[in-house]
Amino acid sequence: MYSPLIIVSNNPLVFSRWKERIPVRYVEGGALAVLLTVRDLCHRGCRLLSHPLAGSVKPNETPYRSVMLSEAGPGTDPDSVELTEKAIEVTERFGPVRRVWQEREIRDFQLVDEALLAGALESAENDLSNLI
């Protein structure tokens, strides 16, 4: 169903829930590590299908980030690279996560990130079905 898609995430919940349906590239590290991986994939021809800073949660207020991309195509998409570079700049400007969360808070952050991704996937599925 989602064959032209790939997810880049550091969220173990996203990995476990989506890995059977969509290729998920699991990234060790924080949001910045995810964005750097996304940028590298965009340079290799992937295109952003979800915003790298989706949601209203500041980059230094959550440990998780998931981004949806198209699989690599021919050439680099300059818009995807530029948007990801700007997201990296914002994330660096906010600085690293400075708080240690309790387990229930971590689970909440995982659920919020996964819900944002699920909404993006639903939109992508509707867009793809409208093209058929």
**Nearest Cα to Cα of residue 118 among 13, 4, 3, 10:** 13
Q: Please report the pLDDT score of residue 130 as a whole number.
A: 47
Q: Counting beta carbons within 10 angstroms of the beta carbon of residue 97, is it exposed (0 to 12), middle (13 to 18) or buried (19 or more)? A: middle
Q: In terms of pLDDT, which residue wins out, 77 or 79?
A: 79
pLDDT in tens, 18-73: 999 999 999 999 999 999 999 999 999 999 999 999 887 788 888 999 999 998 77
Gyration radius from the chain CA atoms: 14
Please name every residue paired with 8 in a beta bridge, in sequence order, or none if there are none. 25, 67
Q: What's the pTM?
A: 0.89
Q: Where exactly are the structural domains of the chain?
A: 5-131
What's 28's DSSP letter? S
